[in-house]
Amino acid sequence: MKHWIRIACVLAVSLLAAACSRQVTVKIGVVAPMSGPLAQYGKDIANGAQIAVDELNSDHFSINRKRARFELVVEDDKASPEEGKAAAKRLIDAGVVAVFGHFNSGVSIAAAPLYAEAGIPQLSVSTNPKYTRMGLKTAFRITADDIQQGAALARLIGEKLRTKSLYVVDDRTTFGIGIADEVEQGVKGKKLQTAREGVDGKSTDYAALAKKIMDANADVVFFGGDEAAGLPLLKALRKVGSGAKFVVADAMCDISTVKGAQGGADNNYYCSIAGVPPSWLSSGIGFTDMYKAKFGTPGAYSTLSYDGIHILAQAMQEAGSTKPETYLPVLAKGSFSGKIQGSIEFDSKGDIKDGTVVIYQAIGGQLVEQRNLL
């Protein structure tokens, strides 16, 4: 009897070893603001990535004939360049083979050289053009940049909204200044009366600024930045009786921002998202159902992280390796199936080809897509 028990034990160990040899663990870093005023965006990104990982693992996704077991390593960059660099170092030390992040342009730009030095591909939703113009072979953008987004917002302001007087405000961040510059450039030649000002969220007198905008008879205000400075400005404008249309980019295009405006965003609030909404494709509708079952209503960035994880997995599968140095050239030059974005390819800089920008309007407390405003 003991003899047969020993044989059974040896056989079990052998089978286990064989099974393990046919598996590979794939660690992917996800990094964004998971705390603070932008936490909803970071959590959307992490949740979308988790949906993709769960799907890949349940589908028995294979790389070089080995079953791949995907794991997420989530870090909080607190929307800070310095915290972002610290988070990047932690991800590198954790042995991730790819990174999805960061959210803020200034943070992505600060952290990108660290990933490049480690040879780890970084797939980001940050929109400032500089991110992919630093000559780093590991930097990729899965969304349209601010040149494209700024042009769409400029058309909205200069043509669709029939603006006569525009007041541009930025929050002095890399993203805020960059997108405001692109919008200003885009409305040149539209014969608009235009003014520009920067704000510091900690010291700005928003009531005084709102009065200044009212006195300038601005019928449209464009704000470049996130809601830490954008919401106080919007509330101050409504408090002094301004009915000016308030136009923002993707850092304030979330239902949580509309709710945070406490009625100030009704109807006269417009925003853009650089990315395809899930309603455009049947597979996107399936994603929405999966997301709702686990986390509730998906935010715009959850769809991008969901597609991003799938793209990284496809590049590894095509290369037959999870080693960054092996699959990186495939990621750079391949064509991939984004389940929501559709076919995805990157250009020589690492920017997505044919990036899409969608305009939304706040109506009845919801963000409603407005294709006629593109």
Residue with tokens 């929501």: 340
Interval 18-43: pLDDT, tens: 444 589 999 999 999 999 989 999 99
Whether 90 and 168 map to the same domain: the answer is no
The secondary element (H helix, E strand) that includes residue 366 is strand 366-369
Q: Does 5 have pLDDT greater than 70? A: no
Torsion of CA 77, 80, 83, 87, to 10 degrees: 30
Let me know whether 243 and 298 are in one domain: no
One-letter amino acid at 331 equals L
Amino acid at 65: R
Identify whether residues 169 and 75 lie together within a single domain: no
How far, in Å, CA of 172 to CA of 105, rounded? 12
Give the span between the Cα atoms of 131 and 11, in whole angstroms. 53
Q: 256, 273, 290: which is the final residue of a domain?
A: 273
Cα 281–Cα 346–Cα 109 angle in degrees, nearest 5: 110
The pLDDT, as a whole number, for residue 15 is 39
Query: Domain check: are 10 and 136 in the same one?
Result: yes
DSSP code of residue 360: E
Record the tokens describing residue 185, joined without a space.
Answer: 């450039």
Q: Do 60 and 139 share a structural domain? A: yes
> Do 95 and 151 belong together in one domain?
no
Q: Domain of 54?
A: 2-143+279-345
User: If you average pLDDT over residues 141-159, what whole number do you get?
Assistant: 95
Is 370 domain-assigned?
no
215 in Cβ contact with 189 (< 8 Å): no
Which of 65, 85, 252, 51 is closest to 169 using CA atoms?
252
Mind giving me the DSSP string for 41-73? HHHHHHHHHHHHHHHHHHTT-EETTEEEEEEEE
Both 242 and 207 in a single domain?
yes
Q: Quick one: which H or E segment has residue 198?
A: strand 193-198
- Is there a domain that residue 86 lies in? yes
Residue 295 inside a domain? The answer is yes
Q: Do 269 and 183 sit in the same domain of this protein?
A: yes
C-alpha dist (Å) from residue 373 to 165, 199, 279: 19, 28, 18
What mean pLDDT value characterizes the chain? Answer: 91
DSSP one-letter string for 106-131: HHHHHHHHHHHHHT--EEE----GGG
CA angle 150, 152, 158 (to 5 degrees): 95
Does some domain include residue 352? no
Instruction: Note whether 260 and 152 are same-domain residues.
Output: yes
Residue 353 lies in a domain: no
Residues 45 and 120 placed together within one structural domain of the fold: yes
pLDDT at 22: 83
- Give the integer Cα–Cα distance in Å for 160 and 374: 8
> Is 254 within the bounds of a domain?
yes
3-class secondary structure for 302-316?
HHHHHHHHHHHHHHH
Residues 220 and 241 in one domain: yes
| Rounded-to-integer distance, Cα 204 and Cα 213, Å | 14
- In angstroms, the CA 148 to CA 144 distance is 6
Supply the pLDDT for residue 339. Answer: 84
Q: How do residues 249-291 score in pLDDT, each as one tens digit?
A: 999 998 889 999 999 998 899 999 988 777 776 677 888 899 9
Whether residue 373 has pLDDT greater than 90: no
CA distance 120 to 313: 14
Which pLDDT score, from 0 to 100, does residue 278 have? 75
CATH number at residue 91: 3.40.50.2300
pLDDT of 13 above 50:
no
Residue 70 tokens, joined: 């995907």
Tally of structural domains, the chain: 2
At 48, list the tokens: 């979308």
Alpha-helical regions (H) of the chain = 2-21, 39-58, 81-93, 105-118, 146-155, 174-186, 206-215, 227-239, 255-260, 282-294, 300-319, 324-333
User: For the residues 76-81, what does the mean pLDDT come to?
Assistant: 97
pLDDT of res. 8: 45
pTM of the model: 0.88
Residue 254 makes CB contacts below 8 A (sequence gap 6+) with 40, 41, 44, 299, 300, 367
- Looking at residue 6, its pLDDT comes to 52
Neighbour count for residue 350 (Cβ, 10 Å): 24
8 A C-beta contact, residue 131 and residue 337: no
pLDDT tens-digit readout, 230-240? 999 999 999 99
Residues 330 and 260 in one domain: no
Residue at 17 is within a domain: yes
Q: Is residue 11 one of the residues assigned to a domain?
A: yes
Among residues 248, 273, 298, the one where a domain terminates is 273
